[in-house]
Amino acid sequence: MTEEVGVLGEKTSRRTDVERIVETPLPTVYGKFRAYGYLDHERGDEQVALVHGDLDTEGVLTRLHSECLTGDAFGSRHCECGAQLASALRQVADAGSGVVVYLRGHEGRGIGLLAKLRAMALQAGGLDTVEANLALGLPVDARDYGAAARILDDLGVRSVRLMSNNPRKREALVRHGIRVTEQVPLLIPPCESNITYLRTKRERLDHHLPHLDAMAHVPS
């Protein structure tokens, strides 16, 4: 831990492997946020946390969002990532406070953009998302949440209400010392393009997606 003077003049104690570099206001279509930029010295990734309102130390409404260029930027309907990011930002703003940690280096559950596109091509040929990664000789999920936990620690967050359907994300945060007081579902209505992907996430990756049971007809 080192004590440094931040860009706004405040003294902050932070871990040296994930260093806070900058803080700036960031108005968005969802509301006014503050963007905290971090450098993960161990992995070389640049990370950002979007904070709305004044954070408490306990029970902070939190989303750890894995980078997904195709979903977040291009509006891909192969997954629900873009809609989840928008919903998380909206819910944090509506709640009056909370944080969305946007985790770069998590593309394709940690395998990278080009490998993800190769996996998507295999899925178009009939493999599911787990089979596609394995066919490429890649891990099913290579994501690490250590940087996210250190960012939350830097922001003074000790426990969270975690917006996620993924129990492994909750387990990872707990392993890194952040308590999860509640897991808040982040359920996005499926469409014809992603229903198979979502069912695979439920059946093979243990995601909690109870709303899929009611989907007798899936809109295109």
Question: Could you tell me the maximum CA-CA distance found in the chain, to the nearest angstrom?
Answer: 56
34 contacts 24 by C-beta, under 8 angstroms: yes
Q: Which residue's structure tokens are 């806070």?
A: 20
Residue 6 φ then ψ, to 5°: -75, 175
CA distance 71 to 87: 13
Among residues 96, 57, 95, the alpha carbon closest in space to that of 181 is found at 57
Residues designated catalytic: 141, 143
CA distance 15 to 102: 19
The DSSP element (H or E) to which 96 belongs, if any, is: none
